[in-house]
Structure 1
Amino acid sequence: MRFLHTADWHIGKKLHGYDLIPEQEEAYQQIKAIALAEKVDAVVIAGDLYDRALPSEEAVTALTKMLVDLNRQEKFPLLAISGNHDSAVRLGYGQEWFASTDFFLRTKLGDALRPITLGDTQFFLLPYFEPVQARQLFDDDQLRTVNQAMERLVAAMQEQFDSTKKHVLIAHFFAAGSQHTDSETQVQVGGLNAVPVDMLAPFDYVALGHLHRKEALQNEPTVKYSGSPLKFSTSEAADTKGVWIVDTDTTPVTVTFKPLKPWHDLVVLEDSFDNLMDREHDYPATKEDFVAVNLTDTTPITNVMQRLKARFPRVIELNRVNQLDVTPTELDVQQVQQDPLTLLTTFFEQVTQHPLSEQQQEWARKALQTAEKEENE
């Protein structure tokens, strides 16, 4: 059979305050178009459907619309698991009757031991889990790490293998050899949650979620991260996002990458302030793209963020490549005449080399309002 492997949709995620649901809806349309063009027999979503355990109403509406469209309108069987960003309880509500339309959603660890058979393939759906869940499932207090738990889980899955079928694992974890990006959450430190790729050898293909780069595993032809459909951090700016098309009727399975084109790209620009503001310079960014700026200037620049946004409206990050030649306290005399919030914003940028976040700006406004009220009383 042929299936599409995707993961880490993170519906409802915001990028430095920007709502990404419109971007996510557009990426979904591309994924559906690929599924239709490739005539896949099923769609696999390997976890992190939502960005947070308690998603907003807008996020729930958006994801529901996508899943209904794929499953009820386009008639694709869906195989999905919960990731570490999802609430297994909330996401799994209703899964008992979802299967009536070939929507196989698994959020409980024990369900991973009951394969779903479609065509010539057995799918084992392993949701994100903590070691304590494995201890409870196997009634074994010796299972202290994900690594140890996976050894028991894989052995239990192998007992369910049908020798006449191919075997696919759908999972959401950190596999050994993976590379992190900023927008991913490392649940444990010290490598305790790393699963050795060799442990996954019994499967013909392993469809992974959790890390957002398809290159996260090198030289592994049948163990793949699909990566996220969108760029969620500047560390992913150079990535090509997309999905995998997997054919199980060959040995080994055949895997083909299909790229997605960003509606609004995420671009990192490194240059001097004057060059960046010079409209004669041709930069790979449109007014609608998300832009991270690495300034090479060594002198403070007044209202740098506001001025950059006049050229690139969606500036999401501002960093300085070089150390300032002057101390941050050497503010332009004209700044003294500015309102306190603007003065604070400029000073903060010069001291930290980062702009105030929306939350920090709100805290600053409230603090200034309280100070003005006390002064007038």
Structure 2
Amino acid sequence: MRLLHTADWHIGRRLHGFDLTAEQQQAFEQIESIAQQEQVDGLIIAGDLYDRSAPAEAAVRQLNQMLQQLNLTDKLPIYAISGNHDSSVRLATGTPWFPQTNFYLYTDLQQAFTPIEVADTQIFLLPYFEPFAAQQYFHDESLQHLDQAVAAVITQMKTLFTPGKRHILVAHFFVSGSLQTDSETQLTVGGLAAVPLDLLADFDYVALGHLHGKDALQAQNACYSGSPVKFSLSEAKQNKGVYIIDTETLTRTFHPLTPLRDVQQITASFAELTNPQFYQAQKQDDYIGVTLTDKKPIPNVLTQLRQLYPNLISLTRAEGFEAQFAYQGENGQQLRHKDPLELLADFYEQVAQEELTDQQRQWAAAALKIANKEEQ
């Protein structure tokens, strides 16, 4: 069997307010093309089909069209699970008749114990769940943490293994040893944490979702496909794509996707950014995060840069607040005993590289006087 492994579509996602519908549609069309060219026997989607539990109507319509294209038009089997961004209840709508077209979408823990038998392979679909669901299923309140719950789940799954067949697990969680970016929700609430990699050792392949980079985990039998679209500046250097898995040889091949608009981080001075030779060499249609190296304030800097970089998504200073105060040599207690106006003057001088004017000092003193009266 040959399977395409993808995950974390996050349909409905926005990037700093910018609509990513076109980017997600273009990535989907590439995934469909790869599936056809590689003549795969099915697609794995390892969770987070939507970006939120209550997706907008446009997002629902877009995902429905994608799934219908793959399953009903292209006649490709789909093996999918719900992720932590999905609403399992909403996503489960229609699932009773999905298997009639070889569309398997598991959204409830108990479904994980019904493996899908295909040719030489058993596919176990494990949707995202919290420990409480495992406590209820196993009638065991000692399953307080995710690693304990997953251990119980996998122990039962292994009793269902058919000897001589390949065993594939599709799951959506954080595996210990993985690398994370700031666009991914950490599973730390309510006792949720990392799943030890050794719990997955008995599966021939584990198709993971949740982390958006394909290199987040280096393991022989498990990997993240990563998201098909970049969702934050922290993903700017990631190569997006999908994996093709061969269950006979247990080899996986990465197929890259070309972004409609890329995400890039630029660190430069305002003079460089506004130099025609510099900005004309950039892909100005990309989503760009700028880190300014200038030390002095620049009037209307955001407005001026947006005229040259219309998809500017972030503007920061190379030397931020924390960096500015890191070398002052004063501890918190010393700072608390300093006069507020003195602190303000120090801070302004470090950020603006110039002293407060007399007028600014008068404004600050007046504001402080009002604040002190309100506290009394």
TM-score normalized by the length of structure 2? 0.85
Which residue of structure 2 lines up, in the alignment, with residue 210 of structure 1? 210
Q: Which has the larger radius of gyration?
A: 2
Which residue of structure 2 lines up, in the alignment, with residue 326 of structure 1? 352
1:246-325 residue pairs with structure 2 within 5 A? 246-250=245-249, 253-281=250-278, 285-322=282-319, 325=351
Deviates more, 1:184-193 or 1:238-247: 184-193
Query: Residue 175 in 1 paired to residue 172 in 2?
Result: no
Whole-angstrom CA distance in 2 between matches of 1:297 and 1:315: 18
**Contact 1:267/1:285, CA 8 A, preserved across alignment:** no
Per-residue deviation at 1:221?
2.3
Per-residue deviation at 1:93?
1.0
Q: How many residues of Structure 1 are paired with residues of Structure 2 in the alignment?
A: 329
Which residue of structure 1 lines up, in the alignment, with residue 55 of structure 2? 55
Q: Matched residue of 1:294: which SS?
A: strand
**Contact 2:131/2:192, CA 8 A, preserved across alignment:** no
Whole-angstrom CA distance in 2 between matches of 1:173 and 1:166: 22
Whole-angstrom CA distance in 2 between matches of 1:55 and 1:170: 23
Which residue of structure 2 lines up, in the alignment, with residue 36 of structure 1? 36
Q: Can you list the C-alpha shifts for 1:108-167, whole angstroms capped at 9, x where unaligned?
A: 001001101112110000000000000000000110011001111111101111112100
**Contact 1:180/1:216, CA 8 A, preserved across alignment:** yes
Q: 1:280 to 1:82 in 2, by over 3 A?
A: same
Per-residue deviation at 1:330?
5.9
Q: Can you list the C-alpha shifts for 1:251-277, whole angstroms capped at 9, x where unaligned?
A: xx1011100011100010100001001
Q: Matched residue of 2:24: which SS?
A: helix
Per-residue deviation at 1:222?
1.8
Per-residue deviation at 1:327?
6.7
Query: Residue 87 in 1 paired to residue 87 in 2?
Result: yes
Whole-angstrom CA distance in 2 between matches of 1:171 and 1:151: 13
Q: Percent identity?
A: 51
Q: Can you list the C-alpha shifts for 1:31-53, whole angstroms capped at 9, x where unaligned?
A: 00110111100000000000000
Which residue of structure 2 lines up, in the alignment, with residue 232 of structure 1? 231
Q: Matched residue of 2:245: which SS?
A: strand
Per-residue deviation at 1:5?
0.2
Q: Matched residue of 1:169: which SS?
A: strand
Whole-angstrom CA distance in 2 between matches of 1:325 and 1:107: 51
Q: Can you list the C-alpha shifts for 1:300-357, whole angstroms capped at 9, x where unaligned?
A: 01111110011110000001002555279969x9xxxxxxxxxxxxxxxxxxxxxxxx
Whole-angstrom CA distance in 2 between matches of 1:68 and 1:329: 63
Whole-angstrom CA distance in 1 between matches of 2:190 and 2:94: 37
**Contact 2:295/2:353, CA 8 A, preserved across alignment:** no
Deviates more, 1:92-101 or 1:274-283: 274-283
Whole-angstrom CA distance in 1 between matches of 2:196 and 2:98: 33
Per-residue deviation at 1:283?
6.8
Q: Matched residue of 1:255: which SS?
A: strand
Q: Which amino acid aligns with 1:239?
A: Q
Q: 1:306 to 1:196 in 2, by over 3 A?
A: same
Per-residue deviation at 1:193?
1.8
Per-residue deviation at 1:25?
0.4
**Contact 1:265/1:285, CA 8 A, preserved across alignment:** no
Deviates more, 1:184-193 or 1:209-218: 184-193
Q: Which amino acid aligns with 2:231?
A: F
Which residue of structure 1 lines up, in the alignment, with residue 114 of structure 2? 114
Q: Matched residue of 2:141: which SS?
A: coil
Q: Matched residue of 1:44: which SS?
A: strand
Q: 1:247 to 1:263 in 2, by over 3 A?
A: same
Per-residue deviation at 1:191?
8.1
Q: Can you list the C-alpha shifts for 1:28-73, whole angstroms capped at 9, x where unaligned?
A: 0000011011110000000000000000000000000000000000
Which residue of structure 2 lines up, in the alignment, with residue 222 of structure 1? 221
In structure 1, the gaps of 5 or more residues are 334-377
1:21-170 residue pairs with structure 2 within 5 A? 21-170=21-170
Whole-angstrom CA distance in 1 between matches of 2:251 and 2:284: 40
Q: Which amino acid aligns with 1:326?
A: A
Whole-angstrom CA distance in 2 between matches of 1:128 and 1:163: 27
Q: 1:115 to 1:328 in 2, by over 3 A?
A: farther
Per-residue deviation at 1:279?
1.1
Q: 1:42 to 1:155 in 2, by over 3 A?
A: same
Give the CA RMSD over aligned residues: 1.8
Deviates more, 1:275-284 or 1:142-151: 275-284
Whole-angstrom CA distance in 1 between matches of 2:53 and 2:13: 12
TM-score normalized by the length of structure 1? 0.84
Whole-angstrom CA distance in 2 between matches of 1:139 and 1:223: 29
Q: 1:248 to 1:40 in 2, by over 3 A?
A: same
Whole-angstrom CA distance in 2 between matches of 1:141 and 1:180: 30
Q: Matched residue of 2:352: which SS?
A: coil
Deviates more, 1:163-172 or 1:273-282: 273-282
Q: Which amino acid aligns with 1:298?
A: K
Q: Can you list the C-alpha shifts for 1:286-308, whole angstroms capped at 9, x where unaligned?
A: 23210000100000011111100
**Contact 1:222/1:255, CA 8 A, preserved across alignment:** no
Whole-angstrom CA distance in 1 between matches of 2:143 and 2:4: 33
Q: Matched residue of 2:215: which SS?
A: helix
Which residue of structure 2 lines up, in the alignment, with residue 244 of structure 1? 243
